Each structure stands twice: as structure tokens, then as C-alpha cells.
Structure 1
Amino acid sequence: MPHRSAPAAAASLIALCLSLLSPGAATAAGHPEPPRDDSALQRRLEELVRTPGGPPGAIALLRDEKRTRVVRAGVADLETGREPRPHDHMRIASTAKAFSGAVALSLVQLGDLRLHDTIGKRLPRLPKAWHAVTLRQLLNHTSGLPDYSRSPEFIAILRADPHHRFDSRRLLDFIAGQPLLFRPGSRYQYSNSDNIAVALMAEAVTGTRYERLLEELVYRPLGLRRTSLPQGYRMPEPYLHGYAVSPTEPPEDVSELIGMSGVWASGGIVSTPADMTRFVRGYVGGRLYGPDLVREQRRWIPGGASEPAGPGRNDAGLALFRYTTRCGVVLGHTGNTAGYTQLIAATPDGRRSLTFSVTSQINQAQTPDLLRRMRAVQEDFVCALLKGKV
């Protein structure tokens, strides 16, 4: 396994703590010529992998009503050289927020929750200053909750022991002494705290652990068989190895660098490209709840970007983002964490989908040029999807 010296690894971890968990600003994607034939997507993905500092591996699944096309480049494991596969496990990062949205909206459909339910009503032990925040505001990132993952105490614990076992249900304690950043509903600001609160609300109204709710309300209905929410740092075999990449140093395998207890409902899920394809088709296509809730989910906040920004122009809904590209619109979510960057998207009816996964962390804070390049490649894939070139 390629690895760096201890000082380099420590520096990498510090950078990870300060930037992987903290959202950065969105950037505009470029607009290269769209792919003209089936081999163009393959070339574009290979170019991304060959870029200095680019990910060691990438895999994309394009699915329509008839078939799935798999496009891959690079390797799943630098040690063995094997290629990425649709059933390889991977960390899905903040696309896990779409899963907490699926749980919450399913409970709204069942009548256990309402979008106007407040933290004060459902989670009265949380600070009184937060009590007016609603479930809707948590789901569309207009809550004003400070981001616990930016807490100096949280970061210090993670620096000292990346495998530290946090109490996932007490993560908001790291910011309990802080007021809201702004009046709820008055502005958009992406925060990892929001989806922790969403999961806690779901547990409070059902008396059921969030992991069980995922199983009952999401995995089982959508046929997800290789998706889980672990607490530890181990990855299930087989998996896409995630790497910390530098243009000047050998890649470092960071697949198991961090335990998932410290991200939990905000980004801790492990899945596969095949399962994520099933998820995004069902989630966007409205299979988990009725049309009234689908309409509520799609009340867009202009300019609200996922983290990292997805292809084209980004607008935020309830645990869902709209990506308006030069070829049309898809809905989905993105995510990034140590060793992995994700995009899942589907047409509004869920009939066509794209799962796009790379094995390094790409975001605005650390790799802005690479992010612009990746978003342009993602847009090419979206165009192929929308033009029926799967």
C-alpha cells in the first residue's frame, strides 16, 4: 500500500479535518464540447484520472429504462491494479444526507413527522435558542445551526485519534453553547449539523434507532443490499480504495483513516455504485412518498449548492439539489470525504440516472481547479444521459 512519511500523513490529516468536513464556495463549471460518440465519455474519464493530482480511480453508472452502462478508468486498488466495479463498496460522504431526507420525508408521509415540526417540539433537550428551527429548514439548510464538524474541540479529538468512537447522538453537544448563525429560514448555508438533527428527530418520533429506520424505510423498499451505516473505520470487502493525492507525492490510502461515528447521518453511509443507482432512481422518482411531498421537496432555493457543487447551476430543495446543465436538468446530491467524491443524479421522473464516483477527495477548498475539471466531465455524462446515449 503506498503511503507517506509520518509527518506528511499528519499534515494530510490536519488538512482533512479543516477542509473535508467544512463546506467551501461553489465554482462555475466550464463548457467544453459535448461528447460526440460513445468512446468520448471513456476518454473524458481517463483524462480526469490522468490529470496531475487526479483520482487513482473512477467509475460511472449511466442507467436508463433498458440498460446500465458502466464507464471506468484507473484502478480500484493501487496495490493490486484491479479495475473499479459496480459492487465495490465506497464511502458515500454527504450523499448520505439524501438518505436522512428519505427517512424524514417517509415519516412525514406516514404522519409521524410534519415539515413544520420544530426542534423545540421534537428535541427539547437541545438549546432553547435553536427551538424555532423546523424540519423543513434542516432539510434545505436554512436552519442557521452552526456546523459541529468545525468545532475546535471536535477537530482536536479527531486529530488526536482519527478512529475515535464518538457518541453519534451527542455530536451537536460540540456546538450546544453557540447561538444560531442567522434567523431560521432567512438564508442558505450548508451545515453537517442539519442532518444530525434530522436523524435525531426521526428517532424521537418513532422510538427506533436511525440505522433501523434506514433499513425499514429506505434499504428494503429500494432493494439496497450492500448499503450500511457503520460506526467504525473498517471497510467491507471488496471496496474502492480511497486515496489522498498530491501531484508531487505518492498517493496515500485513506480508505480507513476515519471512523464513521463522527459523521453518522451526515455522511457515514457505505454503499456501492450499483446500490446508489437504485437509491437515486427511487428517491428522485418519488417511490418513497407521494406527489404532494415530492412537490414540497422541490421548492428550490436559487443558488443553494451541494458540497462540492454539482454540474451546472445548483439550487437546493429538501435533501435534494437541482443541477441545471447545458443539456437539461437532473436532481440529486454530491459529497466528499477522505478518499472519495460522489455525485448521484436522476431525471425528475427517476427513469434515467447517473452515479459518478472517484477515489480521491475533490472540493473547492483543496482542489478548485480539479473540481472545475470534474464538474465539466460530470456535465458531459449528464448530457449523454439526457440525450439517450447510455
Structure 2
Amino acid sequence: MSLRSRRLPLPRHAGRAAVVLLAASLALAGPAGAVSGGNGDEALRNRLRELVDRPDGPPGAIAVLRDGGRVRVVEAGVADIGTGRPPHANDHMRLASASKAFSGAVALRLVDRGLLGLDDTIARRLPELPRAWGSVTLRQLLQHTSGLPDYSRAPEFADLIRADPHRVFDSRHLLDFVADEDLEFAPGSRYQYSNSDNIAVALMAEAVTGQRYEDLLASKVYRPLGLTRTSLPVGYRLPDPYLHGYDVEPGSPPEDVSTLFGASGSWASGGIVSTPTDFNTFVAAYAGGKLISDATRRQQRSFVTGASEPAGPGANRAGLGIFSYATRCGVVYGHTGNTAGYTQLGVGTPDGRRSLTVTVTSQVNQTSNPDLLAHLRAVEEDFVCALLRSPSKT
């Protein structure tokens, strides 16, 4: 899930990182075909260094740009302060709310098969949820126009995380934290980002298939795209090697918060672990509509005004499980995310031919550090321009 930082008093050994939970989510060789170097890459690397060199900046940053079969990896800083090794495209990391694109992919593939309809309601597919939520549709859940209260903002949820950041939640009952609350607005009447939406999406997918969401991810997304280093764990550990995520406060040493929180409290809203290479492969297919039919893709690309969390580059608009980012150089589709230690951007061109992921190893959002977010969005836009302006390769 995307974690919109809200600092809760945690013991020092548990880390200073914000329990952002959802207020908002192998070798050291490069990926096949990866290239680097050249004046263009050096200019981009300098842009990442500007972020890393800030007193409040992330210890590390890595971007992967793909144009057809040509892959460029640009990095700055370190993946691990303890060893000083640089970030690598096959390092594991937390995707945070970029995981919502994966639940979107699962749901839309089920729409293609006729197992789900975009106008299916909670009352029809999830009758065990509160009757007051019954008229909410899958379309509204995917577009964050549902009005569902955000479970990650519930005081009881925050208290449990504060008491035990490694707590293992029953992910399928996360909505219980807000089950006594009414909708926050009439479904479809406005946009409001909510981590509850994608929990309900995953539950709908399970209800119509009789399969666990984790298995649906494997069959509908991982295997078709060859994502061998992507998973949805329950616990707090990360596979080796991984990009270490840090809580950064100027004047204090960065604190490693990579394993501060478990993934069960974010689940379909933000729990996926992946690598820059796998994430880039996914977003190219997802942005380009490779996983779904043209008819479903046209529905997915019905946009309303609304920003991802955190906001991505340019002007943001919300589709069904995907965002449009209109930059000065053109439009790309994808998703962002932020959680303790990580901030993500993954975008691709509408035809899926070109794709970009940008990862920084600290949490950056409007609440925690608006100036750093503005800087990051400017850097992301420069990378989008480099992606769109590069000569097309076959």
C-alpha cells in the first residue's frame, strides 16, 4: 500500500519511520540487455545524485528505462549504508501502493473472462460486508470513487501497529476495522484515495474464483509476464539481496526500516515485494494493455481528476487501477507508492513499448516532506522525458 506518512510514537528499536501504513503500501549482475553510460545517462545520474545528496534525501536511488529490448539502468547512492554497495536492478524492494496496479490487473483479467463485471456491487459479490456499502461497484473501487472509509486510518489499526509493527493480520479481515462506519460520500460522486478499495477488489476476485488472491497473482500476472522475483509475503522479511529502506532525518544517521513492518497489514493494497527489473516488466505490460482486451482497456482508461499517492509527475488523473501522468513531454500510465523506507514510480507508454521505474530508498510524500516530493516529481518528469525522447529501438 501507499503509505502516507503519519508519525506514530514507536520505540527507538522499532524505528522512527512513520506508520504510514496505508494512510496514503540473484546475483549482482544486471538484467539481460542492460546498458549504461553515455552523456544522457550521466545527466540522469546527476539528477538522482541531487536527490541523494540532499540532507533529507534518500540514501539510494535507481531507475530502469526500457525501450523495446534496450534497457538502461541509472543509479546513485547506496543500496546498503553498512556495506556501501550500489543499488542494483535485481535487488528486492517494497512496492507499497504500486501493488494496487497488480490487484487492478487481476480484477480486469477476470472482467475479460466474464467472471467479474465492472458494475458488480459489493452487495452482490461480498454480501458479508456492511449493507451500507452495498451499492459500491468494482469500477468505483478501482477508481477510488467508492467512498469506502480507509481502514488504515482507523485508530484501532494504528494502535495495533504501534504496539507490534511485525503483527500478522488476517488480511482478509482488514475491512473489519471500519465495518461500523458508513460510506464517506455517495459512490461515484468524487475521488478519494482509500486503501480499503483494493482490499475489496482482491476479496471480490477471491469470491468469484474460489482461489486465494496470492494464487491469482501468480496465475494472472507473475507467470504470464515471467516475474520470478515478485511476491506477496505475509511477514516482514525481504529476500536477499534487497534495497535497504531508510528513515531520514537531517542531523541524525539514516535508520534502516526495511523490515519495520510486515506485509499482512497492507496485503492487496500495498504488500507486494519485487525488483526494479520485474516492476519495469510489469508496468510495461500493464500500461500497454498487454494483459487485457481492447474493450476492457478502454474502460480502464476512463479518467477522472485525482492524484496517486504520492502524486506522480505532471498532471495526475485516475483510471481503473491505473493513473495517467501528463508531463511536458507526453503522457504515460502507471502507479506510484510509498511506505516506510521506499517510494516508487512505475510508468509505461500507452502502447507498452517504453517503460520506466524510479525507486528511492526513503519515504517521500506530501505530508512528510512536500519540498522533497516536489524535487522528486521534477526528477521523475525528467526521466519520463528521457524515456519518450530516446530514439526508438527494436
- Partners of 2:116 and 2:389 lie apart in 1 by 39
Q: What is the rounded CA distance, in whole Å, between the counterparts of 2:291 and 2:355 in structure 1?
A: 17
Question: Is 1:130–1:145's contact at 8 Å kept on the other side of the alignment?
Answer: yes
Q: Distance in 1 between matches of 2:13 and 2:102?
A: 32
Show the 5 A alignment for 1:124-143. 124-143=127-146
Matches within 5 A, 1:1-390: 8=12, 12-13=16-17, 16-17=18-19, 19-23=20-24, 37-302=40-305, 304-388=306-390
Give the whole-Å Cα distance in 2 for the aligned partners of 1:205 and 1:131. 17
Corresponding pairs, count: 370
Cα distance, 1:39 vs. partner? 2.0
Deviations 1:1-52 (A, max 9, x none): xxxxx85556825xx12x45213xxxxxxxxxxxx84421111111111011
Q: List structure 1 segments (4+ residues) > 6 angstroms apart after TM superposition.
A: none
Change (3 A) 1:273 1:10: closer
| Per-residue deviation, residues 306-355 of structure 1 (Å, max 9, x unmatched) | 00000000000001000000111100000000000000000100100001
Query: 1:37 & 1:125 partners in 2: Cα distance?
Result: 55
Change in 2 beyond 3 A, CA 1:188/1:128: same
Aligned partner of residue 74 in structure 2, secondary structure? strand
How far apart in 2 are the matches of 1:366 and 1:251? 15
| Superposition TM-score, scaled by structure 1 size | 0.93
Q: 2-side partners of 1:278 and 1:354: how far apart?
A: 9
Cα deviation 1:167-196 (Å, max 9, x = unaligned): 000000000000000000000000000000
Instruction: Show structure 1 runs of 5+ residues with no match.
Output: 1-5, 24-35
Asked if the contact 2:144/2:197 (under 8 Å) is kept, the reply is yes
Segment drifting more, 147-156 vs 38-47: 38-47
DSSP-derived class of the 2:254 partner: strand
C-alpha distance in 2, partners of 1:83/1:52? 19
SS at match of 2:312: coil
Secondary structure of the residue aligned to 1:246 is coil
Measured after TM superposition, the shift of residue 293 of structure 1 is 0.6
Question: Does the aligned pair in 1 maintain the 2:234–2:263 contact within 8 Å?
Answer: yes
- How far is the alpha carbon of 1:285 from its aligned partner? 1.2
Asked whether the 8 Å contact 1:89–1:235 carries over to 2, the reply is yes
Letter aligned with residue 285 of structure 1: G
Please state whether the residue corresponding to 2:55 is helix, strand or coil: coil
Q: Distance in 2 between matches of 1:182 and 1:310?
A: 25
Q: Distance in 1 between matches of 2:172 and 2:319?
A: 25
Q: Quote the RMSD (CA, aligned, Å).
A: 1.4
Distance across 2 between alignment mates of 1:242 and 1:180: 35
What code does the residue aligned with 2:241 have? P
Is this contact kept in 1: 2:21–2:152, CA < 8 A? no
Between the aligned partners of 2:55 and 2:391, the Cα distance in structure 1 is 29
Q: Contact 1:20–1:336 at 8 Å: present in 2 too?
A: no
Q: Residue type of the partner of 2:16?
A: S
Query: How many Å apart are 1:286 and its aligned residue?
Result: 1.3
How far apart in 1 are the matches of 2:381 and 2:85? 27
